[in-house]
Each structure stands twice: as C-alpha cells, then as structure tokens.
C-alpha cells in the first residue's frame, strides 16, 4: 500500500515533514513499517498551495529515494498546505499520470488503498464521473476515478457527503460484480483552505492513518515520522478529520451502513 503525508498550518518548507524526519516519506518509500508492502517505489508526488488559486504539482515515476529533485524541491518550496505521496501500484501502470496527488482546478487528492477488483468494476465506476470532469482524467487508476466522481457528486457544497455517497455506490458496484475484494479508502482531499482526511474500509482492514495536532498546524500521515509516538494519534477506522481555520475535528464517517454490510 502507498504512504502519504498531508500538512496544514503556518507556511513552512516542505522538507520539514517530507524529507527531514527520521522516518520521512523517502524512508517510507523503501522501508514502510505499517504497510503490507514495505517498498513503495512506483513513483511519488508533491502537491502544494501557494499564491495561485490552483495547487502546484510535481510527479515522477522514479522511486522517491532516487530522485534528487525531491530534496531540492522540498527544501525550497514553502506552503501552508501540502501533500506528499509515495506509491505502491495495485496493478495499474507506473506512469506519471497515475502518480498521486491528483489535481483538478483548486482541488488536491491522494489515496492509499484499493477499490475492489478494479479490473471488474472500472467501467461502472468511471460512469460515475460527469462529462465535465471526465475530460480531465489523464490516468487509469481507481484513485483518480474516485476523486473525479467525488467532485462530480457535489464536493463543492459538501465534501463529506459527496465522498460518502460515492463510496456507498462503489460498494454496491463491488458487491454486484461478485468480487470479494474490499473498498479501502484512506485518503486526503483539499480545496486549498480546508484539509479532509478519511480512514474507511468495507472490511476490518482499513489502512493506517495518524494525525498530530500541534496547535498552529496539523499533520496527517500513513505512519508516524519519528520514533516518539506520544504525539501521534491514530484515526479510528470509519472516521475522518477536517482541518480548517478552527480546531481540528475528528468525526465518524457518515457512511450508509446498509451498503457497507452488503459489500462484506
């Protein structure tokens, strides 16, 4: 499974959390500790917000540990809200358009997990993407498809509601396909002001997620960046985080339990 980090707070250099820590994303790309895949070498990406409305994005197919540009970019880019992601492919090609994070207009998205048996359900999931958004689909991953489906389901008005509706429909698509593969959705989404992070699965194996609320900033990670775990709080399965201008909120994910049960 992939590993990622999301940050919101005072503007800082990306290196503070992406490359500098003892167990940074670079280290997790070659030796993850809480993943079924210890190696996450199928590309990486950065996404950040600066002076423009839309985010900047840098994605590369080389492993994070072998790209010298990553350290240079992380040292010199400063942002109040940024994403970092190292990828372990679940079957789709290792191409730049398939690397996370994905961007559309002012939105950023990244994902760790799987969406059922993608080979069986890809066409039906892509049918959830309105034409307006489908023209922006550049890759072939389940992650990008779910991102665009969420935007098309009304994320502009209600991020959590749109995400819940899309995952409920996808769970039913997976069930109807006859696949016993789960929907695992540990993801981050941002509109440039707020940051949302979700930990959800239709089985009991939601992929790991932690957060650190440091008062003036919040960091959400797939696994802690250091050996001191006292300040890292696990996000319970079936919960989500909102980090905006006020206090960080941790809430149960309002998922349709009937469809969740049907997908098991």
DSSP characters over 58-97: EEESS-GGG-HHHHHHHHH-EEEEEEEEE---SSS---GG
Q: What are phi and psi of 150, to 5 degrees?
A: -65, -45
φ/ψ of residue 113, rounded to 5: 145, -150
SS3 186: strand
> What is the enclosing helix (H) or strand (E) of 29?
helix 25-31
3-state class (DSSP) for residue 232: coil
Dihedral sign from CA coordinates of 243, 146, 34, 94: negative
Q: Is 99 a catalytic residue?
A: no
Evaluate whether 32 touches 4 at the Cβ level (below 8 Å): no
Catalytic-labelled residue, pool 1, 2, 18, 146:
2
- CA-CA-CA-CA torsion sign (131, 173, 42, 243): positive
Cis geometry, peptide bond prior to residue 101 (ω within 30 degrees of 0): yes
| Residue 238 φ/ψ region, left for φ over 0, alpha for ψ in the -120 to 50 degree band, beta for the rest | left
Residues known to be catalytic: 2
């Amino acid at each position: 499974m992939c590993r990622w980090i999301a940050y919101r707070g005072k503007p800082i250099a990306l290196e503070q959390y992406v490359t500098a820590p003892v167990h940074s994303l670079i280290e997790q790309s070659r030796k993850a500790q809480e993943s079924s895949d210890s190696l996450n070498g199928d590309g990486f990406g950065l996404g950040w917000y600066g002076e423009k409305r839309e985010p900047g994005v840098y994605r590369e197919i080389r492993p994070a540990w072998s790209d010298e540009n990553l350290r240079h970019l992380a040292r010199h880019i400063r942002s109040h809200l940024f994403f970092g992601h190292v990828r372990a492919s679940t079957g789709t090609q290792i191409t730049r358009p398939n690397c996370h994070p994905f961007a559309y207009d002012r939105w950023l998205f990244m994902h760790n997990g799987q969406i059922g048996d993608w080979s069986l359900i890809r066409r039906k999931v892509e049918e959830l993407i309105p034409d307006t958004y489908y023209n922006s689909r550049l890759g072939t991953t389940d992650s990008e498809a779910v991102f665009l489906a969420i935007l098309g389901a009304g994320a502009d008005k209600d991020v959590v509601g749109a995400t819940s509706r899309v995952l409920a429909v996808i769970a039913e698509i997976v069930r109807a396909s006859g696949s016993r593969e789960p929907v695992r959705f540990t993801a981050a989404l941002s509109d440039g002001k707020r940051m949302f992070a979700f930990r959800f699965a239709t089985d009991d194996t939601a992929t790991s997620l932690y957060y650190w609320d440091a008062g003036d900033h919040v960091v959400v990670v797939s696994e802690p960046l250091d050996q001191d775990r006292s300040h890292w709080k696990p996000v319970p399965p079936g919960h989500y985080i909102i980090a905006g201008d006020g206090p960080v909120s941790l809430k149960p994910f309002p998922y349709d339990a009937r469809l969740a049960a049907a997908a098991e």
